[in-house]
């Protein structure tokens, strides 16, 4: 029963994200609104962490399964994607390396900043 309640809280926040997407005329996906609402709710302690903890961990554990339908869809559309395969691979590799480099630099600066604060 605990998991049903926790899942209901997550679904409610997702639904509120859908409402925000419907009423706010910005090109932001409803899922992003939902994530922001969940973040604000957890940070402001409106939503207690314990009220979504176990179900959130479970959903993260099964997340790789959620990519299977997208992978199958890509395989089914391979004839359409084949002419663009090289640009897609190039863009994927370059953007992945760029994100890794920027994330590493930001992390290093944050760590250096914390060391300076403690000294």
Q: Global pTM?
A: 0.65
Longest CA–CA span in the chain (Å) reads: 59
- Do 16 and 36 touch, CB atoms closer than 8 A? no
What is the tens place of the pLDDT at every residue in 1-35? Answer: 899 999 999 999 999 999 999 999 999 999 999 99
Domain residue spans of the chain: 1-61
Q: Can you tell me the distance from the alpha carbon of 108 to that of 119, in angstroms, rounded to the nearest whole number?
A: 17
């Amino acid at each position: 029963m605990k998991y049903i309640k926790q899942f209901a809280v997550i679904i409610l926040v997702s639904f509120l994200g859908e409402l925000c997407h419907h009423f706010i005329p910005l090109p932001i996906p409803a899922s992003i609104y939902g994530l922001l609402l969940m973040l604000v709710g957890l940070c402001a302690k409106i939503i207690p962490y314990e009220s979504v903890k176990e179900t959130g961990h479970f959903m993260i554990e099964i997340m790789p399964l959620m990519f299977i339908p997208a992978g199958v869809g890509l395989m089914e559309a391979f004839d359409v994607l084949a002419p663009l395969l090289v640009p897609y691979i190039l863009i994927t590799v370059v953007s992945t390396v760029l994100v890794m480099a920027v994330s590493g630099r930001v992390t290093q600066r944050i760590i250096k900043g914390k060391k300076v604060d403690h000294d």
